[in-house]
Amino acid sequence: QITLKESGPALVKPTQTLTLTCTFSGFSLTTSGVGVGWIRQPPGKALEWLALIYWNDDKRYSPSLNSRLAITKDTSKNQVVLTVTNMDPVDTATYYCVHRRVRGIFDIWGQGTMVTVSS
Amino acid sequence: DIQMTQSPSSLSASVGDSVTITCRASQGVSNSLAWYQQSPGKAPQPLIHAASFLQSEVPSKFSGSGSGTDFTLTISSLQPEDFATYYCQQYHSYPYTFGQGTKLEIK
């Protein structure tokens, strides 16, 4: 059974860097074709894809936030980390960690973690 | 970026009804189109991949069709648990993009 769980701060101040960790089980990020990504959803708004990292360390980012995002993996810990620099109140959202296989959809989602940006 | 536009944005229906939601892509995405269901306070759950293929354990009351730029999600015999928000998403090319969502409400 594949599970993913997000962790990180619930509150960050404007201009700070957000670091979110996705801890997963039931699969390995060393298996060919496997990827882990991040998607966010501001309160009452639509979903927005942010980033993906694959088993071969290929990384993809949303162009709208590209310069502010970094995604890394630690296969020994079964973790994927997303950092978002220069946080702003408009970045207030629930951040989801997701599993996918190459050419597949986001088939397994974490429960999400709500992050509020406020001074 | 490929823009995904869903219609309608909201929809009222009764238990037992059937409804259809439309998703249009600003450029062709072949059949690389997924549908997700999101209940209040929950993470989205995948319903359909490759435009028309049901995810494992998704009931057959859900069906999808389309290819290229125009897609539909049909839900038959609505039950209370089906009243939720539905999103389409293209995974044809980066950046992956979602529609704005269709909120299905009980009439």
What are the tens digits of pLDDT across the range B12-64? Answer: 999 999 999 999 999 999 999 999 999 999 999 999 999 999 999 999 999 99
State the distance between the two ends of chain A, measured CA to CA, in whole angstroms: 40
| Nearest Cα residue in chain B from A97 | B43
| Nearest Cα residue in chain A from B40 | A44
| Nearest Cα residue in chain A from B46 | A107
Interface test mutation site (partner B, options A105, A107, A109, A114, max chain B beta carbons within 10 A):
A105
Tokens of A33: 């074709």
* DSSP code string of A37-83: EEEEE-TTS--EEEEEEETT--EEE-TTTGGGEEEEEETTTTEEEEE
What are the tens digits of pLDDT across the range A5-46? Answer: 999 999 999 999 999 999 999 999 999 999 999 999 999 999
Greatest Cα pair distance in chain B: 38
**How far apart are the C-alpha atoms of B62 and B67, rounded to whole Å?**
17
What are the tens digits of pLDDT across the range A56-99? Answer: 999 999 999 989 999 999 999 999 999 999 999 999 999 999 99
Helix and strand numbers, DSSP H then E, in chain A: 0, 11
The shortest CB-CB distance from B101 to any of A46, A49, A112 is to: A46
Kindly list the residues from chain A whose CB atom is less than 8 angstroms away from the CB atom of residue B87. Answer: 46-47
**What is the pLDDT, as a whole number, of residue A66?**
80
The shortest CB-CB distance from A105 to any of B43, B46, B99 is to: B46
CB contact under 8 A, A49 and B55: no
**How far apart are the C-alpha atoms of A27 and B88, rounded to whole Å?**
26
Kindly list the residues from chain B whose CB atom is less than 8 angstroms away from the CB atom of residue A62. Answer: 95
User: Is the Cα torsion angle A34, A103, B51, A44 positive or negative in sign?
Assistant: positive
The shortest CB-CB distance from A60 to any of B32, B94, B97 is to: B94
The shortest CB-CB distance from A47 to any of B1, B87, B95 is to: B87
